[in-house]
Structure formats: C-alpha cells, structure tokens
C-alpha cells in the first residue's frame, strides 16, 4: 500500500473491503452509496443481478472522505477530474506497476477479490454468505474457497453423528443383522446339511451356497 498513490490506493482499499470487481467499482455512482444506512447497491454486475453490500468501518470512513473531497458535479465514486470514471485499463496498468515495484509476482487486481473471499472464509463466515457477497451465480464458484474454512469440513463430518443415531451403532448393529437373517430372510434359506458333515450349507438369497458352523467333511 505504501507504493500506491491516489486514486489507486483508495480503489485497492475499497476492493479488499467489498470484493467488488474492478468494473463494478469504476461504474459505482454516489446514488448507489447509502452512507447513512451503510449499504452499497451494486448494479453493473457480471451476471446482471443487483446485489447489496454492507459497509464496515474502514469502508464507511473511506467513502466519507472521498465524498468530502470529490466535486459535486462528479457522479462517480472514483471519478477523474473531467467528471467521468476511470478506465479499467488505466487502473489495471497502475496496479501492475505497483505490484512490480513491490517485487510481487503473478498478482493481478482481480486477486483482491479472491483476497476478500479468502479472509471471510478463514474468519468463519459461512460459504452461502460469501456467495451472496461475491455475487456468484452458483455455489460451485464459491466452493473453491471452502478448504480455507476452519469449520467447513468439521461441520460436514459432524453431520455423521446425526446419521449414526439411525444408521449405525456398534452395539445394535449385530442384533439388527441377526434379526434380519433369522426373521425376515429365514424363509429364503434352504438347508443342505445332508450334503456335509460337521456343518450346514445354506442357500444364500443370491443363489450361492454358504457353509455355516464348521468346514464340511466329505462323506
């Protein structure tokens, strides 16, 4: 951030605290910023659907300062001296130069959006909320961040506890199986004990002979 000059510095801070795409940031107007209630309305989205983003303290303070410094005739939050918004290429080029100067490799402006999502997930925010904040059309797009969650996989495993109550317990399983074999399926078994000594051969429901008791001794 030390290498960032305005307006790039403010745009970077804004991106990290909203997860908005660069095009969404540059097209944002003051009419879509509600400083009193602390909400931003994002209209120019990639999927064409409007979404609403709450402001944290850092973001609200930043916007208040930008509002104070901007010209009244400028409708854009990040407008230039001519009253229009900055071009995407211009900001991307400035950002690229700052990253290069800092010695950082393979990091682009869009990665700030990934940074926003990653921080939320690592802080324990549920994946559905992250999806809504990012404006993803499907959950699959957001699940790429799920491995960062300290509780996401744990919650998945804990779901087994609820299933175990009705599916499996070490003590009850053997009795359930015994009742199933002796009761429900008993009529499907045919005794062939006359064909062996020291054991019984029964016909399995699937049609295969199974020796029960001991190894059969040929007659």
For the chain, the distance separating the N- and C-terminal CA atoms, rounded to the nearest angstrom, is 90
- Catalytic residue, candidates 46, 93, 108, 186: 46
> What's the rounded Cα separation, in Å, for the pair 111 and 154?
27
Residue ranges of the alpha helices (H) in 70-107? 88-101
> What's the rounded Cα separation, in Å, for the pair 96 and 217?
83
Neighbours of 101 (CB within 10 A): 11
- Catalytic residue, candidates 93, 119, 136, 137: 136
Is-catalytic flag, 86? no
- Catalytic residue, candidates 9, 67, 113, 154: 113
122-146: b or e for each residue (b if 16 or more CB lie within 10 Å)? eeeeebeebbebbbbeeeeebeebe
- Catalytic residue, candidates 52, 89, 145, 208: 145
Is-catalytic flag, 204? no
Is-catalytic flag, 110? yes
- Catalytic residue, candidates 67, 87, 108, 110: 110
Is-catalytic flag, 113? yes
Is-catalytic flag, 136? yes
Of 141, 146, 120, which Cα lies nearest the Cα of 54? Answer: 120
- The residues annotated with a catalytic role in the active site are 21, 46, 110, 113, 136, 145
């Amino acid at each position: 951030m030390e290498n960032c000059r305005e307006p790039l510095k403010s745009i970077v801070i804004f991106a990290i605290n909203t997860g908005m795409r660069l095009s969404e940031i540059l097209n944002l107007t003051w009419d879509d910023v509600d400083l009193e209630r602390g909400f931003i309305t994002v209209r120019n989205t990639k999927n064409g659907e409007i979404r609403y983003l709450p402001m944290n303290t850092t973001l609200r303070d930043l916007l208040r300062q930008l509002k104070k410094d901007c010209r009244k005739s400028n409708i854009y939050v990040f407008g230039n001296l001519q009253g229009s918004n900055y071009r995407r290429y211009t900001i991307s080029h400035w950002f690229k130069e700052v990253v290069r100067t800092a010695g950082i490799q393979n990091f682009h402006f869009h990665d700030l959006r990934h940074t926003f999502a990653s921080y939320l997930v690592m802080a324990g925010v549920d994946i559905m909320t992250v999806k809504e904040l990012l404006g993803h059309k499907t959950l699959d797009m957001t699940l790429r961040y799920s491995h960062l969650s300290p509780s996401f996989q744990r919650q998945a495993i804990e779901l087994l506890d609820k299933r175990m109550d009705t599916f499996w317990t070490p003590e009850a399983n053997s009795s359930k199986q015994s009742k199933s074999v002796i009761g429900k399926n008993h009529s499907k078994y045919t005794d062939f004990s006359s064909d062996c000594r020291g054991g019984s051969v029964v016909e399995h429901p699937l049609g295969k002979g199974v020796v029960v008791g001991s190894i059969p001794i040929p007659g």
